[in-house]
A and B are shown apart, each in its own frame.
Chain A
């Protein structure tokens, strides 16, 4: 998968608004593999909606979204399962971790599906993120900032062409943000993948190819 193409896309809830000033909505936008994008937004401008449309779990939008030339409205459930295992990864803003599983199990539940990373590599990440003491701690007992790091590891434990990260550092200090950005970019670069970062203010300091205002 090389391109995500948004053509005159608009969330249906915005359809009644008179004036849409955005670099994304109702525009023709292409996200290309191998590039780094930042989507900046104020709250309520449809940032998480954008992620959910592209990730295929909401369809309440106008316009067309295509992966390469494939209209994503026509993808079957089996197609989506395949895409989410092999081509597209999303770090959810609300994380969607399993609170009853430990930090390691939360990463493993994805990694066992894809068979992508060795246990050693995952433990190295824990080390780099500075939460190696939390490996066997249930996620429910961890802070939101710690959970964000676990969710990032889970998002990276698969092959992908595009990585969507929805407000990844909202609860992290600058040093931890830096570490997260490094690990993320290292993995994305190795895979030759595109990264689309969204933010409502504080964002990862990276050399973005393009910055879009939502």
Chain B
């Protein structure tokens, strides 16, 4: 053991260092946990969507028991298109015939349901356009389904039948048979899920398919739209709210809600990280204070070491290594605790969002490493300065 260390470790207070260790560990853990949690949860709110990411609103007519038309006439659509806040308007077209669908694994159908299709103009659909097309004569049709349907399957159906849960990538590979009935005809087609949406509660097919199928299976039906999709410049524009209110329309504010949730998540994570940083800063002061006390108590020893020819660098080194060692230990424990806690909450998150991707902890390692470097650097500088004051004092 170095004689210098043997001298300078005199008066080290284990209690003060344990205090620092606990406080710094708590601070570091809170900072890293808030950061990592934000990293892990954010994608849930920002996952890719089959619908264009621009600002848009879904407008429908207010439904009441008094009756009245729930479809938009072409003059109403034109009027909405001509509003200054509107960039463009697309109509939802609904299928006017019977649709049934069954899904199976390895050719055995085990999940069937009645359903319906809707379409919007292709420009509103944000998916691989090489897959999003249909020509009469094709025997398969691309489909975008709501994510909630996947949840219904995973948590309702699969759970009760002990079937495997499926992810988004798996469902795209599942056979789906679509049966179209109407106009005294019936046709079997294959369906393939090419995308998911969290924003529209409907099953989308390409507009070209809708036109063809309505013509084939329900040639006489009225195809006036019941909902419109409106791309707007600024969804918070007051004029939109006034217009919608005057005409007795409803708008779907789902997108706004997702935005608010993300914002809220950011604020909460920010506040928690702030608290963590504050605790870290306080623990930093505890450490500095105990090191200062230590230097103060060992002033005579430090002075004598400097007088017999030890350099300030050499004399500072034991305390610098001590603090850096403590910081490194704190970082290590914080990361260990973090990965343990993360395992715990990730299990809960996966139960809620089975399709969520697993992110690594690299960002947290980087943040922890940066904090460690910063704090250690400040420690090293402060200790050196404190030792230099000893030099001047003798």
Give residues in A with beta carbon < 8 Å to B.
55, 57, 77-78, 81, 84-85, 90, 92, 96, 98, 100-101, 105, 108-110, 112-114, 154, 158
Min CB–CB distance B384 → chain A (angstroms): 11
Subset of 16 A-B contacts with CB under 8 Å? A78-B311, A81-B306, A81-B309, A81-B311, A84-B307, A84-B308, A84-B309, A98-B7, A98-B304, A101-B6, A105-B6, A108-B3, A109-B4, A110-B308, A113-B309, A113-B310
Q: Is the interface of B mostly helix, strand, loop or mixed?
A: helix
- Report chain B residues within 8 Å CB of A112: 3
Min CB–CB distance B282 → chain A (angstroms): 33
B181 at the interface (CB under 8 A from A): no
The answer to whether B307 and A96 have CB atoms under 8 Å apart is yes
- Report chain B residues within 8 Å CB of A110: 308-309
Of B10, B309, B391, which one neighbours A158 at CB under 8 angstroms? Answer: B309
The chain B residue with its CB closest to the CB of A95 is B304
- Report chain B residues within 8 Å CB of A158: 309
The chain B residue with its CB closest to the CB of A155 is B308
B301 at the interface (CB under 8 A from A): yes
Evaluate whether A109 and B308 lie within 8 angstroms (CB atoms) in the complex, with A57-B394, A98-B301, A100-B7 already known.
yes
Question: 5 nearest interchain CB pairs?
Answer: A84-B309, A85-B309, A81-B311, A109-B3, A96-B304
Min CB–CB distance A18 → chain B (angstroms): 31
- Report chain A residues within 8 Å CB of B10: 100
- Report chain A residues within 8 Å CB of B312: 77, 81
Give the complex CA separation of A158 and B6 in angstroms: 22
The answer to whether A55 and B310 have CB atoms under 8 Å apart is no
In this complex, which of B3, B7, B305, B310 has the most chain A Cβ atoms within 10 angstroms of its Cβ?
A: B3
Min CB–CB distance B17 → chain A (angstroms): 20
The answer to whether A105 and B3 have CB atoms under 8 Å apart is yes
The chain A residue with its CB closest to the CB of B4 is A109
Give the complex CA separation of A78 and B388 in angstroms: 12
The answer to whether B7 and A101 have CB atoms under 8 Å apart is yes
- Report chain B residues within 8 Å CB of A96: 304, 307-308
Give the complex CA separation of A114 and B314 in angstroms: 13
- Report chain A residues within 8 Å CB of B308: 84, 96, 109-110, 113, 154
Give the complex CA separation of A108 and B308 in angstroms: 12
Min CB–CB distance A136 → chain B (angstroms): 14
Min CB–CB distance B42 → chain A (angstroms): 51
Give the complex CA separation of A122 and B306 in angstroms: 22
Min CB–CB distance A98 → chain B (angstroms): 6
Give the complex CA separation of A84 and B305 in angstroms: 11
- Report chain A residues within 8 Å CB of B7: 98, 100-101, 109
The chain A residue with its CB closest to the CB of B10 is A100
Give the complex CA separation of A90 and B7 in angstroms: 21
Of A55, A78, A105, which one neighbours B307 at CB under 8 angstroms? Answer: A55
Give the complex CA separation of A105 and B394 in angstroms: 23
Q: Mark B1-33, 1 if CB is under 8 A from A, else 0.
A: 001101100100000000000000000000000
- Report chain A residues within 8 Å CB of B6: 100-101, 105
Min CB–CB distance A95 → chain B (angstroms): 10
The answer to whether B309 and A77 have CB atoms under 8 Å apart is no
- Report chain B residues within 8 Å CB of A81: 306, 309-312
Q: Mark B208-223, 1 if CB is under 8 A from A, else 0.
A: 0000000000000000
Give the complex CA separation of A109 and B312 in angstroms: 15
The answer to whether A101 and B311 have CB atoms under 8 Å apart is no
The answer to whether A77 and B3 have CB atoms under 8 Å apart is no
- Report chain B residues within 8 Å CB of A113: 308-310
Min CB–CB distance A39 → chain B (angstroms): 20
Give the complex CA separation of A158 and B308 in angstroms: 10
Min CB–CB distance A92 → chain B (angstroms): 8
Given contacts A77-B388, A81-B312, A98-B301, 17 further A-B contacts (CB under 8 A): A77-B312, A78-B311, A81-B310, A81-B311, A84-B308, A84-B309, A90-B307, A92-B307, A96-B304, A96-B307, A101-B7, A109-B305, A110-B309, A113-B309, A113-B310, A114-B309, A154-B308
Min CB–CB distance B114 → chain A (angstroms): 88
In this complex, which of A85, A98, A108 has the most chain B Cβ atoms within 10 angstroms of its Cβ?
A: A98
Min CB–CB distance B123 → chain A (angstroms): 73
